[in-house]
Amino acid sequence: MTHPDPRTPAPDHAPARRAMPGAFPGAGAGGADVPDPLAGRRTRRGATLGSRRPLPERPPVPASAAWRDGDEPGRRQFADLGPLKLESGGRLPAVRLAYETWGELDEDGGNAVLVLHALTGDSHVTGEAGPGHPTAGWWQSMVGPGAPIDTDRYFVVAPNVLGGCQGSTGPASTAPDGEPWGSRFPLLTVRDQVAAELRLADLLGVDTWALVIGASMGGQRVLEWAATAPERVDALVAIATCAQTTGDQIASFHTQLAAVAADPRYRDGDYYDAPDGEGPHVGLGIARQIAHQTYRSARELDERFGRIPQGAEDPLEGGRFAVQSYLDHHGDKLARRFDANTYVTLTRTMITHDLGRDRGGVEAALAHVTARALVVAVDSDRLFTPAQSERVAAGIPGAGPVRYVRSDYGHDGFLIEEDQVGRLVADFLRTSDQPR
């Protein structure tokens, strides 16, 4: 079977360039135009930035937006999994995973699907915003009744990753001494995260997953599942991910970690007693801005924003271009829903990700995967490049050729191009139902 050449430009469907007075033009995937916090202020040279009406101050950014014990659980369920010895030699004395489920598990347990989220995702894959869930599900079109992963047919499980900040054990959760782990939280690897998820599967009575699916950091865990417990994964879908982190990726991740560490309010990770507005939100926001450039393509950023000023701001008077406002928005947005230590912990797991560690190398590890496999790349992805997906597909015996999502949106195409991703997954599930 042939597949699209990733070097061929995707059809141009980027929004037309525009700048909305007093508002930020576009907020990326799942976002909307938001008020410009610099409207009506003066630049450093003293020039007034237009005549827009000053907007009310936003509430201060919390020191941490982690879910804490006592908060509204929403749809979360919790699994206490006992102590866990870590790959680094450390130990967590007690591990808890928060998770959500949809659908019903068959009597034979053969219809279970595991959905694994990316870096700043969580267990709330699908569902409305509400108590305990300030935002709607991040993959609404993929999971639900009649969706590609049909909850009328499958029992779907989505855990918040070990090291996360939405109910699972992580640096923001409570250590045995009653205080947040903070700087004392140990180094985790993707392999440790999968070890915890294996225990969750045991607790739920799932011997074998009909499908394990994830993208980006979630895709790294998909591959680790298939290498760690091949007998427990019938099929896998690995989207926009890799089997081994590259030097280029490590370099980008390093600058993000440096941005967080350079914020004096980070306090080496012990900031949980800080009042709102006094946490490390500046460093976390800068880290997100660095990352966000790799989440979108150069073509999209240029065609969407180009060199358009933000509203009435004049870059020659110290004002911003629209693309700067866009990045500012995404930095602020993440700081209001995430946790700096969690960002550091999970970024480090991606830095150390290597499927071939202690397995004779990446190709040897992939060769032992027995699952049927669908490997998906986004043709404009500059974070997890198509070449990395090609390596994964070439190494897994049960994988066909890489299937391409054609998008101007870069890495975020796995979230934005819902129709393309949905068709690929639905077609794969139909063929996976057939005998080998």
Residues with catalytic annotation? 216, 381, 411
Angle at 117 between CA 123 and CA 144, to 5 degrees: 60
CB 240 within 8 A of CB 376: yes
Can you say whether the dihedral through the CA atoms of 186, 191, 197, 203 is positive or negative?
negative
Measured in whole angstroms, how far is the alpha carbon of residue 66 from the centre of its chain?
Answer: 15
Strands, E, within 353-397: which ranges?
372-378
Amino acid symbol at 34: V
Question: How far is the C-alpha of 384 from the C-alpha of 393, rounded, in Å?
Answer: 14
Question: How far is the C-alpha of 356 from the C-alpha of 353, rounded, in Å?
Answer: 9
Among 196, 247, 252, 242, smallest CA distance to 215 is for: 242
Tokens read off for 322: 């629209």
Question: How far is the C-alpha of 332 from the C-alpha of 152, rounded, in Å?
Answer: 38
In order of 230, 275, 397, the CA distances from 366 in angstroms are: 10, 47, 8
Can you say whether the dihedral through the CA atoms of 81, 86, 92, 97 is positive or negative?
negative
CB 394 within 8 A of CB 182: no
Tokens read off for 54: 């000053």
Radius of gyration of the chain (CA): 22
Tokens read off for 38: 């610099």
Q: What are phi and psi of 202, to 5 degrees?
A: -60, -45
Angle at 76 between CA 75 and CA 82, to 5 degrees: 160
